[in-house]
């Protein structure tokens, strides 16, 4: 029975990830999620409580996946920005979910996993700064945030009609800018 419940939760989470990424929290429909997952609405509410709690679960899970998939090495912050860029390119739903969360629930407290991951990264950078491996011209938390923001530069702000984005060049630019930030 537990195995079946785990499988049902997995199906709901997969369907919800797609639904929230495409439609946001307000636009997501429980009926579409459960239809895609092949379960009834009652199971979604039983396992996740509400649509917003389901979103928080999806968001927390994705943040945990990013932290595990793209570990940060303070001595190579430019490489970290590049690897995050690669991850976001391969998982565009993550970026969309983060945007929806910020647009629709900016006042809502982030899941604890987000705070823990960001705190640990800042502490790791701060220690590397104390050890002399990372310049200390910028506070550790701001340096962390800059690397993350650079990695999100996967779409041009002013796209030219009919032109393709050179992803390799964009990644190289992100890494070069991250390197330059560390020289300041």
- Dihedrals φ, ψ of 38, to 5°? 75, 35
Closest CA to 14 of 67, 68, 69, 58: 58
- Dihedrals φ, ψ of 39, to 5°? -130, 175
Q: What is the pLDDT of residue 63?
A: 83
Closest CA to 84 of 75, 99, 71: 71
Q: What is the pLDDT of residue 11?
A: 97
Task: Tell me how far apart the alpha carbons of residues 181 and 148 are, in angstroms, rounded to a whole number.
Answer: 13
pLDDT tens-place values along the chain, 184 residues long? 556 989 999 999 999 999 999 999 999 999 999 999 999 999 999 999 999 999 989 988 988 888 889 999 999 999 999 999 999 999 988 888 988 988 998 888 887 888 888 999 999 999 999 999 999 999 999 999 999 999 988 665 555 555 677 889 999 999 999 999 999 7
Quick one: DSSP state of residue 29? Answer: -
pTM, rounded to two decimals: 0.83
Buried b (16+ CB within 10 A) or exposed e, 113-137: ebeebbeebbebbbebbeeeebeee
Quick one: DSSP state of residue 108? Answer: S
Q: What is the pLDDT of residue 98?
A: 87
Closest CA to 17 of 54, 63, 65: 54
Q: What is the pLDDT of residue 86?
A: 94
Q: What is the pLDDT of residue 47?
A: 96
Direct distance between the N- and C-terminal alpha carbons of the chain, in angstroms, rounded to an integer: 58
The two most distant CA atoms of the chain are separated, in Å, by 58
Q: What is the pLDDT of residue 60?
A: 86
Q: What is the pLDDT of residue 2?
A: 58
């Amino acid at each position: 029975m537990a195995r079946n419940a785990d499988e049902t939760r997995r199906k709901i989470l997969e369907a919800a990830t797609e639904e929230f990424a495409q439609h946001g929290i307000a636009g997501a429909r429980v009926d579409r999620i459960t239809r895609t997952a092949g379960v009834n609405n009652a199971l979604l509410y039983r396992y996740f409580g509400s649509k917003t709690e389901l979103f928080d679960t999806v968001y927390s899970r994705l943040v945990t996946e990013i932290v595990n998939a793209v570990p940060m090495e303070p001595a190579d912050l430019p490489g970290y920005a590049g690897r995050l860029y690669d991850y976001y390119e391969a998982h565009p739903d993550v970026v969309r979910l983060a945007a929806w969360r910020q647009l629709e629930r900016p006042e809502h407290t982030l899941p604890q996993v987000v705070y823990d991951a960001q705190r640990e990264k800042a502490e790791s950078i701060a220690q590397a700064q104390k050890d002399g491996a990372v310049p200390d011209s910028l506070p550790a938390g701001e340096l962390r945030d800059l690397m993350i923001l650079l990695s999100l530069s996967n779409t041009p702000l002013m796209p030219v009609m009919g032109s393709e984005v050179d992803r390799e060049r964009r990644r190289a630019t992100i890494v070069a800018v991250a390197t330059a930030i560390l020289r300041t």
